[in-house]
A = this chain, B = another copy of it.
Amino acid sequence: MPIYNAPTKDIQFVLHDVLNVSQSGIPGYNELDSDFTSAVIEEAGKLAHDVLAPLNSVGDKEGCRLENGVVYTPTGFKDAFNMMKDGGWTGLDVDPAYGGQGMPYILGKAVAEIFSGANQAFTMYQGLTHGAVAAIYEHGTDEQKATYLEKMVACEWTGTMNLTEPHCGTDLGLMRTKADPQSDGSYKITGQKIFISAGDHDMSDNVIHLVLAKIAGGPEGIKGVSLFIVPKFIINEDGSVGATNGVSVGSLEEKMGIHGNSTCVMNYDESTGYLLGEEHKGMRAMFTMMNEARIGVGMQGLAQAEAAYQNAVLYAKDRLQGRDVTGAKNPDGPADPLIVHPDIRRNLMDQKSFVEGGRAFLLWSSMLIDQTRRAGDKDAHGLVSLMTPVVKGFLTDKGFDMTVQAQQVFGGHGYIEEHGMSQFARDARITQIYEGANGVQALDLVGRKLGLDGGKHVMAFFEMVKSFIKENQDNEALKNDFLDPLKQASKDLQAAGMYFMQNGMKNPNNALAGSYDFMHLFGHTCLGLMWARMAKASLAALENGAPDVAFHETKLATGRYYMARQLPATGMHLARIESGADTVMALDAESF
């Protein structure tokens, strides 16, 4: 059975050595000293290791089942869910006014990576609730907050997001679900939603659905979409759970992975719904959550890569096969362990340098969210809005690729389900799709975020890279291995942006045809920056006589690998981008 250990040391390194959170001045971050975050992370790690990880393959094998309208989760999920509730984990970064712990988003994300790495399908139940809580917290009336939040923060009631319908996913303007206004101010919601994660299950007393629907007579298309709270069971005046509400599960979807999560077709038949936020402003209400939700999905991609990597390393050390060409490393054994072979190393280093760089990127982005929320920093908001599609698209694309590479280390043993390596890849695969497929992320990045506030935020990013390079130019240990490759990557990224400016005006397809490559070019540059910052931190730690010399030397070596072996991808992405739209759009649709 696969193992999972929380990457405590690595998270601590990013939080304290690299981001220096407790000194950052962000309100509430002063609490985040090293002892405190270490205690939280280790506690989360214990739960992940002891409870969640062992249920991961159980969830995959059993899946959920629908019997007489009731959805049952896999064996053990309910008990584990109760442990999450009892431990207060479900409200870690939520306002104490509603029973949360009031911790910063960054700590919530660090912990979420651990739970998700141990069991993505399970952790989604509370992840979706968390998203619904954020929406009600942001857009709900005082009464709505009072009615729902405390129960949802505690996961006594869980939440969902209902966007997709059979004929529309990305293009929600085509939506058909209707909301008929009632005299009491409520609405009757009727329609069908699909792909509803955690749509129904047996682990909570109620499910609070957030449902996008069109109010009759409203504007056409996306401008006529509103958001509604539709509880599975009506809430009585006294706050108790009451009658059914015309909400039913049409079926459970059979999926490639995340079998432990109940992905439902949800039918709403004149279900009572309550407007959340303003009429016809449903998309805006959804979008305020979108940055956070998408960063959460980027986290999931990373988390699966970390989990798969840990198991690939174990196997590579354990499995004896072949001999080191430079001389036997295990001369008394029948063969050397896989890890002696350069191509296995290449594979493992790809994974290791990605997950560590990706984690720094994730936590840095999470810090920007806190800067936005807690300090009202508009520049931070702009920067994280720009970064969001990169976090989501790049970390999930690479995260999936890395689970596939980890599976490859196992050879045939990776293809059979017994070792659990297939599950990591199958579970990670969804992260490239949900919360906006990665092509949509690329479109969002190039079509919307690049030009946001007159391009101010992308300029700020370039400036950040430039000044980092300038400030550290005299650091000989950084220069060749880190600063020079980072400079090249940033130059490639700027050239790509310049190409879009010069050619996207003439024909927007010149920009859109390069959007996916731009997302990856941007992602590599961000990880390059993160590695340069981590290298700087490790060099400083070594200079300052930090006790764990091996940790910091390993960090530096891993960073050098990323800069030498991954960053050269930027040149390829730039070449593709600069080839423009001509070859991409040359064919008629009939010629495919």
A residues near B, CB below 8 A?
Answer: 164, 167-171, 173-174, 194-195, 253-257, 263, 313, 316-317, 320-322, 325-326, 334-335, 337, 339-349, 352, 400, 404, 407-408, 411-418, 422, 425-426, 429-430, 432-434, 437-439, 442-443, 447, 507-509, 512-513, 515-516, 550, 554, 557-558, 560-561, 564-565, 568-569, 571-572, 575-576, 579, 581, 583-587, 589, 591-592
Closest 10 CB pairs of A and B: A568-B575, A342-B512, A557-B586, A564-B579, A256-B422, A561-B583, A342-B513, A572-B572, A171-B321, A554-B591
| Closest residue of B by beta carbon distance from A321 | B171
Contact A586 B560, beta carbon cutoff 8 Å: yes
Contact A322 B170, beta carbon cutoff 8 Å: yes
Contact B432 A325, beta carbon cutoff 8 Å: no
Contact B412 A587, beta carbon cutoff 8 Å: no
Which of B169, B316, B408, B592 lies in contact with A321, CB distance below 8 A? B169
Residues of B within 8 A of A347 (CB): 439, 516
Residues of B within 8 A of A352 (CB): 592
Q: How far is the CB of A326 from chain B (nearest CB, A)?
A: 6
Q: How far is the CB of A430 from chain B (nearest CB, A)?
A: 5
Residues of B within 8 A of A432 (CB): 408
Residues of B within 8 A of A442 (CB): 343
Contact B174 A335, beta carbon cutoff 8 Å: yes
Residues of B within 8 A of A340 (CB): 589
* 11 pairs, A vs B, C-beta closer than 8 Å: A170-B411, A325-B509, A341-B439, A342-B513, A343-B442, A343-B513, A346-B584, A412-B434, A415-B430, A565-B576, A568-B571
| Closest residue of B by beta carbon distance from A353 | B583
* Identical copies of this chain, number: 2
Residues of B within 8 A of A587 (CB): 345, 349, 554, 557-558
Contact B561 A343, beta carbon cutoff 8 Å: no
Q: How far is the CB of A221 from chain B (nearest CB, A)?
A: 9
Q: Pick the most buried of A321, A340, A412, A554: most chain B CB atoms within 10 A of its CB.
A: A412
Contact A417 B554, beta carbon cutoff 8 Å: no
Residues of B within 8 A of A322 (CB): 170-171
| Closest residue of B by beta carbon distance from A336 | B171
Contact A565 B592, beta carbon cutoff 8 Å: no
Contact B348 A592, beta carbon cutoff 8 Å: yes
Q: Pick the most buried of A320, A430, A587: most chain B CB atoms within 10 A of its CB.
A: A587
Residues of B within 8 A of A195 (CB): 412, 416
Q: How far is the CB of A506 from chain B (nearest CB, A)?
A: 11
| Closest residue of B by beta carbon distance from A309 | B592
Contact A513 B412, beta carbon cutoff 8 Å: no
A349 to B169, CA, bound (A): 23
Contact A565 B589, beta carbon cutoff 8 Å: no
| Closest residue of B by beta carbon distance from A592 | B313
Contact A415 B255, beta carbon cutoff 8 Å: yes
A340 to B415, CA, bound (A): 37
Residues of B within 8 A of A586 (CB): 557, 560-561
A337 to B171, CA, bound (A): 11
Contact A411 B433, beta carbon cutoff 8 Å: yes
A322 to B585, CA, bound (A): 17
- Given A326-B507, A561-B584, the answer on whether A174 and B334 have CB atoms closer than 8 Å is yes
Residues of B within 8 A of A512 (CB): 325, 341-343
Contact A255 B416, beta carbon cutoff 8 Å: yes
Contact A583 B564, beta carbon cutoff 8 Å: yes
Contact A433 B418, beta carbon cutoff 8 Å: no
A584 to B571, CA, bound (A): 21
Residues of B within 8 A of A404 (CB): 400, 429
A317 to B591, CA, bound (A): 11
Which of B407, B443, B565 lies in contact with A583, CB distance below 8 A? B565
Residues of B within 8 A of A584 (CB): 342, 345-346, 349, 561, 565
